[in-house]
Amino acid sequence: MNYSDIIYNLLGFTAVAVIFLIILSITLKILSKRFSIDKIKLYGVFLNMNNNAILSFSLVSINYLFLVWCLINFQMNYIYAIFSIVLIILSDLFSTNFKRMLINLISSLIEIISIYVITIFKDYLTTDGNTALSIILLFVVIFVFLYYTYTMFRRLNNIVKLQVPKKKVKNEN
């Protein structure tokens, strides 16, 4: 894969991400008109966050979308891997989540390797055409998707936990 293909694919991902965000914003707008704003809990996550935590939250979300996009397209190369790892490192740096940085990097490497293995498996199936293996590939893709979703929510939860204000102990004197 040459660099023009990589840039073309990254632009395709950007277009898909923008479309996803537009659909999400329209959905939230419709929900906010239909229901009272107190019933929409998504906004409440951002209330006590500073700008760095919101940026970290966004980077994790972008990484999730990117990995799902790579999974759906059966594409993974070293530039995509570097892009994903940079997003996770920046997310940990912005949220000052230094304790979990190594765990997040290892998890990110597992995610990247899983796409690479699925891509190799899919390429093998295109030459072999075995239907039983195709069903196994489908289940592996579903499992990897669920793993991505789990790790995304775990990372987002860690970011939110770091932003919970510490309660001050009142002096009873």
DSSP symbols for 63-78? HHHHHHHHHHHT---H
pLDDT < 50 stretches in the chain: none
pLDDT of residue 83: 86
pLDDT of residue 169: 53
pLDDT of residue 36: 61
Q: How far apart are the C-alpha atoms of 55 and 83, rounded to whole Å? A: 16
**What residues contact 148, with CB distance under 8 A and at least 6 apart?**
64, 67, 68, 71, 111
Return the structure tokens found at 61: 């979300």
CA angle 68, 70, 76 (to 5 degrees): 145
pLDDT of residue 74: 83
SS3 of residue 41 by DSSP:
coil
Q: Which residues of 98-109 are buried (b: 16+ CB within 10 A; e: fewer)?
A: eebbeebeebbe
pLDDT of residue 168: 55
pLDDT of residue 44: 55
Q: Which residue is listed with tokens 């289940």?
A: 139
Phi, psi of 143 (to 5 degrees): -60, -45
pLDDT of residue 171: 57
**What residues contact 138, with CB distance under 8 A and at least 6 apart?**
none
pLDDT of residue 63: 87
Per 3-state DSSP, the chain is made up of helix, strand and coil in percentages (nearest 5) of 80, 0, 20
Decide if 104 contacts 88 (C-beta within 8 A).
Answer: yes
Return the structure tokens found at 16: 């898909």
